[in-house]
Every structure is written in structure tokens, then in C-alpha cells.
Amino acid sequence: MRISAEDELENTRGERFMKRAIWILIMLVLLLGAKPAEAADNRFIVRTTGGLPLIQGVCALLGCNVVHGLDGSLNQLFLVTAPSSIDPTALLAILQSQLGVVAVELDQLVGLVGGLAEASAPPAGLWNSSPVNYYGATVWAGYANQPAAGIVRVSDTQKAFNVAGAGIVADIDTGVDPNHPALRNVLLPGYDFTRNQPGGSEMQDVPPFPYSGQGQPARVNQSTAAVLDQSTAAVLDTNVQYAAFGHGTMVVGIVHLVAPHALIMPLKAFHSDGTGYVSDILRAIYYAVQNKAKVINMSFDFTTYSKELARSMSYANRAGVICVASAGNDGKDELVYPAGLTNLVMGIASTSDADTRSSFSNYGQDIVWVAAPGE
């Protein structure tokens, strides 16, 4: 019996498919027995050429789960999870070998800038609670007239050039207090990527506390502080779960001080303990660009390079978005990201009220574009 060329080609294809299927099956068996069970699933950031249907097909074969897309309307980047019993390094290699999968990386759990340790006490004038008008909002005099604003001559610049900011500034952080009297008039709804729901509020992270107008300072990290009533401060000071609570509100407050007419888009990618996943940071970046932000502020850093973070920064740059990131708070000359993406991101170091480098601020030409008051 004679076999046609078409039959030979079909047989060859079938053999290749069977070999591939057997190889995948063997690898999955090895994976399932390679690692003891842990509490959390393995998390992967996966880029494909075929969108959601392709990665769903891959996961149907490999036993992983597509959680959601990460790049909005582009539909090419996805968060994929797999049981903790599977070795993540081996599964990463299998995912990368699949047709239509362009790139895979492990999802990192990262923290906000440096540690959240105590710093020296801020100037007494910062707690001047006398009410003053600041671009239509009643704020504390200590906020409007803080030393940092004088050092960079905020008021002089606003008056000399008749500018007060414009457009949308996206802040990727712990969220914001949406009812803060200084901020509520300029806040956009934003998004909470830690809960996958609209609204960038950080207030859901803590039990409800009454706010008293006569607050006391509570440290948030080296360069920020919150004013809370005494009982609230006591609870937060003793609970690591709230170590970064207020960080996003303080950062947004700095943005508003410099650019009071700019609209602020709070994008919550970090929990109140200061931790967050790179996948949520990526979602926030793509969300910001696709919702017309002109500036993206990122007051966080981590030391492990992420190719997808670099891709997202490049995407933002091509859309004309300015990306700003902290140089880090470890007091070292070290490469951190996003600031280390120097051709895409402006890395900002911290200076003191004496106009010298803050002892906690990272430094070096590989991460620092400019320095500004941060104590």
C-alpha cells in the first residue's frame, strides 16, 4: 500500500503532537511531586500573542488558572496562578515553551520605599493647624507652608509662571483618604487593584476610627507622617498590618501641594502593610495610561529586574506619559526599579530641610535623575 506525501506529513504532525503531549504530561507529573504544599498559589505574569483564548487553552492543558488580564485593552498580558504543589521554576519553563507564549516571569511581592522605620521628628511648624485657604480648600498652615515647599520655591514658581498644574497625575500606592478636606476636590475615583474594584480608597484597610480635628503625628515612613487622633495612632503604631497606612494620602498631598489644579488618580496596588504584587503595579500602569494620565508617580522600589515593568514603562513613554519613581530609602548606591530604568523613568532621591542628602536616601547615577526634599 502506497502512502501519499500528504499522509506522511499528517503522520509526522501527529507524531510531533504526541511527543509534545507526552513531554508535557511527564513534566506535569514531575512538577506535582517536586514541591511540598504551601499556603499561597504560584503566580506568573504571562505575555501571549493570542490574547485570552490562547492562555486559557494553555492553562486547560497545564492545569493553571487565568486570573485576569494585566494590560487593559491590549489583551496580551495575564496573571496566571498554579497550585503551590507545583515547582514554579519548572512550570515557568513549560509555560515559556508553549506556542503563542512570548514571555513569562514570576510575580514578585514587593514593598514600598525602603523600610517603614522611624525618622527624626519633623519641624514643629508642620503641625500648625491654623486654617488657611489653598486653591479653594481649607488646609493646615503647616501643610501649605512646610519647609520643603520653601526650599523648592513652590509659591514663587506658581506666581512667576502663573501655573498651578493641569491634567491627571496617577499615584500608584496604598490608596488615598477620599474624604481628606485638602484633596477631595481634585480626586478622581481611581481603582483598587488589591480588591479588584473601582475606587482608590485606603480607608477599607483599617477599622473605622473617628477623626478628631486635634490630632497627633504618627510616623508612616522616613519621609511621611499622618495626623491621627490619639487612639487611632496607638492602634496603628503597634500593628505591623498598618505599617504603611497613610503613605498614599501623604504622597498625594505632596503632589497637590506642588500642582493644586492637577487631578489626582489614586491607584491602589499596595496593602496597608506596605506590600503589593508587581502584577497589580502593572495593571495600575496600563490603567493610568489608558485613562489619560499625564504623569505616573511610583513611590516604591525593588531590586529584582522585571521585563514586564520595563515594557509597561516603555508603553507609557510612547503615550507621552512622564514616569517618576523613588530612588529608594536604603541609604545605598544600589540599582533599584523602576528608578533604574533611567531611559524611561525619572528617579528621585530625598534631601533634608538643610538641602543635603537624606541619610536614608539611595544615591548614584544609575538611579537618580534629580533630588528633592523628602523628610
- pLDDT, tens digit, 9 for 90 and up, residues 213-225: 444 444 434 344 4
Location of C-alpha cell 524611561: 344
| Torsion (CA) 258, 264, 270, 276 in degrees, nearest 10 | -90
Rg (CA), the chain: 24
DSSP class per residue in 140-178? EHHHHT-HHHHHTTHHHHHHHHT----SEEEEEES-B-T
Q: What is the pLDDT of residue 237?
A: 56
Task: Give the domain 124-373 fold.
Answer: Rossmann fold (3.40.50)
Flag whether pLDDT at 38 surpasses 70: no
Q: Rounded to the nearest 5°, which phi and psi values hold at 334?
A: -135, 155
User: Residue 339 pLDDT > 90, yes or no?
Assistant: yes
The residues spanned by each domain of the chain are: 5-107, 124-373
Place of cell 506535569: 28
**C-alpha distances out from residue 222 to 97, 123, 157, 266, Å:** 44, 14, 27, 21
Strand partners, 348: 326, 370
Domain 5-107 grouped into CATH 2.70.98 = no
Identical fold, 5-107 and 124-373: no
Cell of 225: 507622617
Q: Amino acid identity of 373?
A: P
Q: For the residues of 170-223, what is the DSSP string, one character each?
A: EEEES-B-TT-TTTTTTB---EETTTTEE--BSGGGS------SS-EEEEEETT
Residue-wise pLDDT for 237-260, tens only, equals 567 888 888 899 999 999 999 999
Lowest-pLDDT choice from 37-51, 132-146, 181-195, 253-267: 37-51
- Cα separation, 295 vs 168, in Å, equals 7
